[in-house]
């Protein structure tokens, strides 16, 4: 019996064991199934959170490494430093009021209401609280131990030289995007240039090298600033341009601004007047008319013009500021700055040829350089006989100062148009970009007149001994409320040195200078802009490698000056 019972129980036991195994397998299957679902849900939740954070961060990351900006000698003008930006995940904030209280106590400039509104957004995974904080502040916030608050490593743009050359360098916004100047150029039309600077093998970016020399820039800025104070001018500016390569070695526009300041809401006075402003440059523009007449052959150095009477065109009369009431030679028309003689010169050329020449030399179009702040010339709406005559001496014809300087530099460099540039350029690169706009003999005549004007004319106070300076002055009445003002003027001087073979051109501008006792009641350019240019040349010519050459007359002048200085000291 016992064997029969055991034989009966064995199949039953086996069936029970198989059933238990099936249950175990089914349980394991269900467990694995639910575990997989839970894992997937967890991953989706985490990925969704990370996607929100990463998407927000990605929106603020620069598209490529930002290159340093350096001057022609490698002096750093703009660079990046590491900073930290504070963010929060509102979903992880346990006590909003406590978080607001702690954060505003640590960062006083945070607005409590705005901060509370940001933190009360449970649907948001990421909000910025404060961008670009220093390491000390970061450590203080870490020590608060607020859940859901953290930092992102970022880069901040800094400008080691502060205000110096600020208008040229420009600045970036909090997301490191170029807003003005070269910084804007590197993000925009200079994107290809920026890409060519990248060094993939070292994960670095080569610097963008400017044509500017910071030693020269400092000297120009300093002398213009002194002149603005001395002559109580509203504003001032100065430029040094290499006439052979078109390189802008220095450009200072005052008032300027600090690119490191967080709040850069610039006033109209702080704009770059030398590129973004257009002005009637007055008699400086006469140089264009002379070059035009020489190049068309309607005038030469032996030509004469009757300036005894005012020039009448319709109901208008053109007078001279310093009337000579005589027949003047071309040289006298230039050195005496005769409006009548210059207007007659333009009328001989003719209206169509006048416009053709202005178009040829680039004065009818906006000047394009790497700096985006550039204004288009303001021209007469209708080129009548009167418009042509007045435009000949700078009346009713406004251009940006850099454009005016560039054109006149082309007239004295041998007659080749060389596009101005803020980037360092080789002579070979300049030659490939240049083209002739006036004949070599026209350029030779212009050099002669420029030097003569400093020796005998309105530019005499620019005669820096040893450097053979030449130039042309301009004093233009400003348009105030639609009318020309008799007591508000713009004083300018465009010059070059050394005149036998010019290497550098200079521009100086003073906006609304006042007359001083030492200027005998005059506020014209010869009494303010010209001596300012002389001081600049004295300082920068040695920096630029221009060797002074002294004639016997120069040595006599130096001896006389030294004697006078010694007498003054003894007295």
Catalytic residues: 283
Look up residue 262 and give its DSSP letter: S
DSSP string spanning 146-158? -TTEEEEEEEEEE
571 CB neighbour count, 10 Å cutoff: 5
First-to-final CA distance of the chain: 151
The residues near 260 (Cβ < 8 Å, ≥ 6 apart) are 158, 159, 162
Radius of gyration of the chain (CA): 36
Q: At what angle do helices 214-230 and 529-543 cross, to 10 degrees?
A: 160
d(CA 151, CA 129): 10
Among 397, 26, 80, which residue's Cα sits nearest to residue 208? 80
463 CB neighbour count, 10 Å cutoff: 20
Among 121, 229, 215, which residue's Cα sits nearest to residue 165? 215
Strands 208-209 and 69-70, by their bridges, are parallel
Look up residue 462 and give its DSSP letter: G
d(CA 385, CA 415): 28
The residues near 425 (Cβ < 8 Å, ≥ 6 apart) are 211, 245, 246, 247
Q: At what angle do helices 351-361 and 286-296 cross, to 10 degrees?
A: 110
The residues near 32 (Cβ < 8 Å, ≥ 6 apart) are none
Contact 194, 64 (CB under 8 A): yes
Position of tokens 């199949």?
A: 11
Position of tokens 């700055």?
A: 337
d(CA 346, CA 319): 15
Contact 516, 232 (CB under 8 A): no
Q: Tell me how many degrees the CA angle 516-518-523 measures, rounded to the nearest 5.
A: 45
Contact 141, 106 (CB under 8 A): yes
d(CA 324, CA 321): 9
Q: At what angle do helices 440-456 and 401-412 cross, to 10 degrees?
A: 110
d(CA 409, CA 240): 11
């Amino acid at each position: 019996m016992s064997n029969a019972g055991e034989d009966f129980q064995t199949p039953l036991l086996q069936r029970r064991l198989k059933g238990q195994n099936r249950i175990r397998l089914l349980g394991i299957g269900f467990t694995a199934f639910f575990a997989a679902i839970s894992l997937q849900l967890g991953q989706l939740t985490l990925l969704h959170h990370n996607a929100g954070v990463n998407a927000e961060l990605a929106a603020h990351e620069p598209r490529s490494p930002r290159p340093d900006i350096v001057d022609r000698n490698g002096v750093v003008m703009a660079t990046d430093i590491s900073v930290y930006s504070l963010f929060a995940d509102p979903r992880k904030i346990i006590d909003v009021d406590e978080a607001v209280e702690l954060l505003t106590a640590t960062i006083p400039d945070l607005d409590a209401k705005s901060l509370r509104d940001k933190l009360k957004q449970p649907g948001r995974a990421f909000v910025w609280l404060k961008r670009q904080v220093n390491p000390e502040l970061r450590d203080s916030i870490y020590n608060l131990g607020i859940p859901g608050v953290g930092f992102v490593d970022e880069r901040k743009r800094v400008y080691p030289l502060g205000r110096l050359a600020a208008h040229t360098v420009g600045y970036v916004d909090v997301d490191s995007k170029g807003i003005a100047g070269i910084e804007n150029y590197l993000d925009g039309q200079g994107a290809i240039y920026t890409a060519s600077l990248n060094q993939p093998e070292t994960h670095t970016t080569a610097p963008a090298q400017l044509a500017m020399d910071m030693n020269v820039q400092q000297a120009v800025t300093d002398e213009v600033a002194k002149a603005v104070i001395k002559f109580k001018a509203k504003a001032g500016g100065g430029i040094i341009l290499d006439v052979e390569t078109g390189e802008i070695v220095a450009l200072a526009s005052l008032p300027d601004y600090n690119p490191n300041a967080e709040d850069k809401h610039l006033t109209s006075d702080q704009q770059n007047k030398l590129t973004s402003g257009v002005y009637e440059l007055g008699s400086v523009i006469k140089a264009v008319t002379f070059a035009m007449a020489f190049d068309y052959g309607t005038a030469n150095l032996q030509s004469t013009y009757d300036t005894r009477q005012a020039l009448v065109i319709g109901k208008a009369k053109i007078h001279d500021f310093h009337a000579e009431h005589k027949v003047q030679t071309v040289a006298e028309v230039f050195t005496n700055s005769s409006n009548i003689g210059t207007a007659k010169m333009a009328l001989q050329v003719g209206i169509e040829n006048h416009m053709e020449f202005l178009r040829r030399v680039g004065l009818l179009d906006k000047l394009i350089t790497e700096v985006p702040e550039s204004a288009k010339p303001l021209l007469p709406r209708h080129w009548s006989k009167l418009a042509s005559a007045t435009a000949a001496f700078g009346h009713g014809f406004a251009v940006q100062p850099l454009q005016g300087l560039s054109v006149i530099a082309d007239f004295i460099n041998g007659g080749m148009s060389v596009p101005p540039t803020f980037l360092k350029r080789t002579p070979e690169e300049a030659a490939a970009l240049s083209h002739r706009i006036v004949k070599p003999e026209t350029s030779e005549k212009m050099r002669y007149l420029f030097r003569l004007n400093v020796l005998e004319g309105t530019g005499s106070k620019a005669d820096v001994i040893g450097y053979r300076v030449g130039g042309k002055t301009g004093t233009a009445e400003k348009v105030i409320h639609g009318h020309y003002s008799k007591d508000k003027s713009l004083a300018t001087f465009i010059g070059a040195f050394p005149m036998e073979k010019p290497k550098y051109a200079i521009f100086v501008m003073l906006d609304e200078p006042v007359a001083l006792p030492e200027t005998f009641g005059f506020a014209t350019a010869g009494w303010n802009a010209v001596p300012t240019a002389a001081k600049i040349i004295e300082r920068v010519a040695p920096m630029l490698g221009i060797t002074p050459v002294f004639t016997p007359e120069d040595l006599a002048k130096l001896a006389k000056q030294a004697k006078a200085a010694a007498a003054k000291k003894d007295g």
